[in-house]
Structure 1
């Protein structure tokens, strides 16, 4: 179990937020299904993407996200359903006639061409003069901050720079929609984090609608205006990074996005907007914000993110949502520490504690085998009916 919660760092921009109202849909995926030899890869998916939005399709291997992207590009034809771009039905339109471009994970740069010629390659069939073509290449290299490297070949620049060349080439034809398939998968962690913000800034500057496929939760949450979480060919939830992380609509989404402690429970009472849930694995009754339409006696799941749990060697001032346990294991990650706490019931809880100040090892919040108290606010408890 990955116990490091994803970054929720946002991006700043002076650009207006795209209108994500379905009525203003720029890319419309309408009940699209795709089957291969009787096996359903995408099952009646409907998504509305706004003009100028940076939208992410997020999911594990085999969830259908890449198949959906290939149907947007025209490389695959839906078995049923329709795909519209800017009001035009693209379902049966070949790839070369669609107002889209695609940036592949491998970047697919020509090794024998310079950076400038790679960017210019997609413009050779455009009705442009040589001067216009050169000006467009210069604009694209300025946009990705590679103007001084135009004479170099791909093997003479870094991985992050090659990624930006591929992005410049994809944008050169001014597509209405740019499709990115795992665009940062070939980069190391630190470079990937830096490039995420570069892509977001370029998207804001151009105003082009981006659709990104990724399996990386942090990447989707950092890049995207909204995220569609996919599983087994269907969309389980669509929302902003905050919505899918803080307010998941199912056990699947809660477990897939970030790390979480997830337990079975039964509703004991519902008073106004608060529910009390019996959670045998914790050995205590848990209070949390009640989802809509729940009733006493109903089976439900209770979930708590590791970073929402406060750990202390001293008893907290409240008695609500408090458990005791022993430190089974701990890990130090610099910015935070992970504790695995074994409760008296035998259940192990993951807890993240932010290292807000420097301290020696012997002054950590807790050490191995320490007896500790854990407390969490009712508003931090996620109660799920599904």
Structure 2
């Protein structure tokens, strides 16, 4: 039976993630100092510095080739940094081999022994530990109960589901009580529904054990659901570190804004600054719009400065009738996609620009008229606080 989701709350973009456990105010548990890694002339990781607290679930998020797995392998000791240092629990890991580190790495393939039972797979890493046979049995039993697989102890890996195999690998990784668990794309082999369920199971297990998790993933929803904090990586560099809310609602750059979730970009110029910033946006100009947008000002803005205005699809309201307030645009629905829980509208502005809008389907189809249909004239609006202003 799957674990019930615990410690969850609404996250950005509809994601849900657990409330972070209180973290210590002392030295960070992991410190990555100016770490780089080159393979010949190719630099996979470029001058990365990070701190990770004890008890965090920390995600390394990025596309293929961004350096996240290379960084994970350096933490595990499978690769040596070309420059920089890594500290784990106050100890410099320079020259420390993988088997001497307080770390266990859980691979994407799970790497279970097909000829061994679930129980023997979990206990395999304890064979050379200074434990009695009884202590090993108790530890294996404890791990199987933790991941709710005790009834499957005598089965082989091919006799259990993909989600259960994932939990066997997790139990084996935790059996040796590592201080740090590294997970490389841990849920990539699971289907969507099972992946969502297993995310909560991982969160609950981490909360019960207190082990620090570092998760490598290319899946932004997975990173936002699982983690206390995320490091967004691109071309070997960390572009932003923050909570899921930070990186979604307050991206530090156009790259981060575009990588995390759906978003539409418009070019503009700062007209004036006050309680709100007034931004001239040519794409918003038209017969029924001034082309000026009100947005929450950010530090360092100056009149005349070129900026990128970014708006998430769910921040728009869409209506057949003109609403009151600032930031009102006229448009025509060009495309419409129905996804059950919500609908996606692609609205053409008089300038020719396209805006993506998500509207929640709060009522069952047939009980209420759809907000709009193909080729309908509509009005869009958004609150000034919803507009993201980016200087790069």
Match of 1:364 in 2: 370
Match of 1:277 in 2: 279
Q: How does 1:32-43 map to 2 (within 5 A)?
A: 32-43=35-46
User: What is the CA–CA distance in structure 2 between the aligned matches of 1:6 and 1:75, rounded to whole Å?
Assistant: 36
Q: Deviations over 1:276-321 (max 9, x none)?
A: 1111122211111111011001011101100000000000012x21
User: What is the CA–CA distance in structure 1 between the aligned matches of 2:54 and 2:148, rounded to whole Å?
Assistant: 25
Contact 1:7 1:218 in 2 (8 A): no
Distance of aligned partners of 1:256 and 1:221 in 2 relative to their CA distance in 1, 3 Å threshold: same
Distance of aligned partners of 1:207 and 1:362 in 2 relative to their CA distance in 1, 3 Å threshold: closer
Q: Aligned pair 1:135/2:138, yes or no?
A: yes
Match of 1:17 in 2: 22
User: What is the CA–CA distance in structure 1 between the aligned matches of 2:302 and 2:217, rounded to whole Å?
Assistant: 38
Q: How does 1:199-238 map to 2 (within 5 A)?
A: 199-238=202-241
- 1:268 pairs, out of 241, 266, 271, with 271
**1:91, CA displacement in angstroms?**
2.4
Contact 1:7 1:222 in 2 (8 A): no
Q: How does 1:1-386 map to 2 (within 5 A)?
A: 6-11=13-18, 16-19=21-24, 24-272=27-275, 274-283=276-285, 284-318=291-325, 320-360=326-366, 363-386=369-392
Match of 2:4 in 1: none
Contact 1:33 1:40 in 2 (8 A): yes
User: What is the CA–CA distance in structure 1 between the aligned matches of 2:205 and 2:212, rounded to whole Å?
Assistant: 11
TM-score normalised by length of structure 1: 0.95
Contact 2:29 2:53 in 1 (8 A): yes
Contact 1:8 1:241 in 2 (8 A): no
TM-score normalised by length of structure 2: 0.94
Contact 2:18 2:228 in 1 (8 A): no
User: What is the CA–CA distance in structure 2 between the aligned matches of 1:31 and 1:180, rounded to whole Å?
Assistant: 22
Contact 2:17 2:227 in 1 (8 A): no
User: What is the CA–CA distance in structure 1 between the aligned matches of 2:68 and 2:199, rounded to whole Å?
Assistant: 19
User: What is the CA–CA distance in structure 1 between the aligned matches of 2:309 and 2:60, rounded to whole Å?
Assistant: 27
Where structure 2 has 5 or more consecutive residues not aligned to the other structure, the ranges are 1-11, 286-290
Give secondary structure in 1 for the equivalent of 2:273.
Answer: strand
Give secondary structure in 1 for the equivalent of 2:131.
Answer: coil
User: What is the CA–CA distance in structure 1 between the aligned matches of 2:110 and 2:13, rounded to whole Å?
Assistant: 26
User: What is the CA–CA distance in structure 2 between the aligned matches of 1:30 and 1:202, rounded to whole Å?
Assistant: 29
Give secondary structure in 1 for the equivalent of 2:246.
Answer: helix
Q: Deviations over 1:306-359 (max 9, x none)?
A: 0000000000012x2111111001011111000000111100100000111213
User: What is the CA–CA distance in structure 2 between the aligned matches of 1:199 and 1:134, rounded to whole Å?
Assistant: 23
User: What is the CA–CA distance in structure 2 between the aligned matches of 1:16 and 1:253, rounded to whole Å?
Assistant: 26
When the two chains are superposed, the root-mean-square deviation of aligned CA atoms in Å is 1.2
User: What is the CA–CA distance in structure 1 between the aligned matches of 2:180 and 2:47, rounded to whole Å?
Assistant: 22
Where structure 1 has 5 or more consecutive residues not aligned to the other structure, the ranges are none
Give secondary structure in 1 for the equivalent of 2:284.
Answer: coil
**1:362, CA displacement in angstroms?**
7.4
**1:38, CA displacement in angstroms?**
1.7
User: What is the CA–CA distance in structure 2 between the aligned matches of 1:79 and 1:265, rounded to whole Å?
Assistant: 42
**1:110, CA displacement in angstroms?**
0.3
